[in-house]
Amino acid sequence: MDTNYWTLDRLGRLYKDWDPKVLTDLSAKVAQSKWRPGYHITTKTGLLNDPNGFSYFNGQWHLFNQAFPYGAVHGLKSWQHNVSDDLVHWRVVDKPMVPDIYSDRNGCYSGSAINVGDKLFIMYTGNTFEGSEFTRHPYQVGAWMDADNNIEKLAEPLIQDSPAGVTGHFRDPQIIKRDDYYYAFIGAQTVDNAGEILTYRSQQVDSGWELYKKLDLGTDNLGYMAECPNIGFVDGKVVVIFCPQGADKASFHYDNVHPNAYIIADELDFTDMKLVNPSPMQQLDEGFDYYATQLLNSPDGRLLSVGWIGLPDTEYLSDQDGWEGELSMVRELHIVSGRLIQSPVNELGNLIEDTEPAATDLQKRITASPFAGQYGLNLDSTDSYLHLSYDETDRQWTLERKNVGEAAVTRSFSGDPSSLEVYLDNSVFEIFINGGKVTMTGQFFHDGESIKVSANQMTIKQNKIKNM
């Protein structure tokens, strides 16, 4: 980040106070970028991060994301609003939720949405800094959205402050309904610098929220902050997905700056707010860039997820082009033998063509049939590559990435092979191994002209993928 340009004034400037020419000039710059995706959600300009408000309302899928349109930096956050009829063709609604009230004046942070009657109710964290020392003061804010996608925020916050013993890092509410109560799961940091997930509940979604209990996950290894907690139900089980920043690597290994984790349990005891027979905490994704995953138990019975292809506290090569970040493809989740299975939603087939892509086609699906021994899949470009290999002697998968102008980095895990799918969208990749038992997600910055695909000891098939 250019700290000479990105002063505190620019990072926190209200949208109405920006010169419109800034967006015009930035749009022209972004249009020249060689790394723009074709079938992943991104912003027209600037930054994209956490998915929010994933819901089905008024006959359409709705998916919001945090955004800062004025640069590829974490400035004053708003919510971009995306809608779809089929989970793969998305369009942006030109009615973003921007910070414009006292309780969100320093940013509309993450949250969720739930159908209530003929409206969609949104609950999110309003970020503020108060006093001469700029102390963080979070508000949990409510808003109603009507069938015309007009959003009206409540006059008063739903929750005015962090509870006793919790710092200003208190955010990212997920609302679910169970029996007579609405429950909100909120990530928190204690004054002792420990992460936890707190639950609030109310019988009225737009008022009366009170602290209920701490969520007992069966582990205290939540680092110094548990971000983006989400609860989902599938296959007779419950899954909790969250981001335990600073989790102890001695008992939960991860290589990224912050992990995205999950725990599976037989059920959630709402009386004691405790997971019953929880699994160990496990990595959600073994790749380079995947965070802030949001869940939706959809009306058609599926458990769906979407994540941010990016990480906090990380800069990317696309920043220089005036944009950063994408949302993942929507995934359908299942639980098999105590493992979370992630796979692209069936609707993605609407984008896949029978045509075999050329090296210059940067949107493609690659499927492979592994053989015994040592084998690999190679995506090569000028001064950059993405190499996935497997060695049966130690059952080790390794993904090595070299971006243009950068040193190579790797991620690895142990497991047996059975199937492999790679979805490439210019600078975005999503890899599904063994039917989605393992995923590896990230960004790959190449020469922007061509990517040659080859394989060692494997048969591969390639298909072009249409832009959404």
Q: Is residue 56 part of a domain?
A: yes
Residue 447 lies in a domain: yes
What's the rounded mean pLDDT across residues 313-338? 97
**Among the three residues 346, 374, 402, which one is the final residue of a domain in this structure?**
346
- Evaluate whether residue 3 is within a structural domain: no
335 & 356 share domain: no
Q: How large is the average pLDDT for residues 446-457?
A: 94
pLDDT of residue 369: 81
pLDDT band at residue 270 using 50, 70 and 90 as cut-offs:
very high
Same domain, 312 and 414: no
Give 14's contacts (C-beta < 8 A, 6+ positions apart).
Answer: 76, 99, 100
Residue 1 lies in a domain: no
Tell me, yes or no, whether 280 lies in a domain. Answer: yes
Q: What is the largest CA-CA distance in the chain?
A: 64
Among 341, 342, 356, smallest CA distance to 460 is for: 356
Q: Are residues 181 and 206 in the same domain?
A: yes
| 332 in the same domain as 368 | no
The helix (run of H) or strand (run of E) holding residue 27 is helix 20-31
Q: Is the domain of 324 the same as that of 367? A: no
Spatial strand order of the sheet with 108-116 comes to 108-116, 119-130, 135-145, 151-153
What residues act catalytically? 50
Supply the pLDDT for residue 371: 67
Residue 431 lies in domain = 352-464
Helices and strands: H and E segment counts in the chain: 2, 34
Q: What is the CATH number of the domain that holds 49?
A: 2.115.10.20
Structure confidence by residue, pLDDT tens digits, 95-133: 999 999 999 999 999 999 999 999 999 999 999 998 877
Instruction: Name the band, by pLDDT with cuts 50, 70 and 90, for residue 416.
Output: confident
What is the domain count for the chain? 2
The whole-number pLDDT of residue 403 equals 98
pLDDT in tens, 55-68: 999 999 999 999 99
Residues 428 and 453 in one domain: yes
What are the beta bridge partners of residue 52?
Answer: 64
In this structure, the answer to whether residues 415 and 308 fall within a common structural domain is no
In a domain, 151, yes or no: yes
How far apart are the C-alpha atoms of 341 and 331, rounded to whole Å?
Answer: 9
Query: What share of the chain has pLDDT > 70, as a percent?
Result: 99
Both tokens of residue 286?
Answer: 């073994």
> Are 305 and 294 contacting, i.e. CB atoms less than 8 angstroms apart?
yes
Q: Is residue 300 domain-shared with residue 186, that is, in the same domain?
A: yes
CA 36, CA 68: separation in Å to the nearest integer?
A: 17
Residue pLDDT, tens place only, 126-170: 999 988 778 999 999 999 999 999 999 999 999 999 999 999 999
Strand ranges for 328-449 from DSSP E: 331-336, 339-344, 363-370, 374-381, 384-391, 396-402, 409-414, 420-425, 428-433, 438-443
Higher per-residue pLDDT: 372 or 293 = 293
**pLDDT at site 310:** 97
Claim to verify: residue 209 and residue 256 sit in the same structural domain: yes
Q: How confident is the model at residue 64, as a pLDDT?
A: 98
Are 330 and 376 part of one and the same domain? no
Q: Residues near 399 by Cβ (< 8 Å), separated by ≥ 6?
A: 286, 287, 288, 386, 387, 388, 410, 411, 412, 431, 440
Q: What is the CATH number of the domain that holds 452?
A: 2.60.120.560
Q: Which of 346, 375, 408 is the last residue of a domain?
A: 346
- Does residue 332 sit within a domain? yes
Whether 72 has a pLDDT exceeding 90, the answer reads yes
Same domain (yes/no): 289, 386 = no
State which of 297, 323, 346 marks the end of a domain. Answer: 346
321 and 411 together in one domain? no
Rounded to two decimals, the pTM is 0.96
374 pLDDT band, cuts 50/70/90, is confident
Output the pLDDT for position 372.
66
Residue 102 falls within a domain, yes or no? yes
Among residues 317, 319, 326, 445, which one has the least CA distance to residue 5? 319
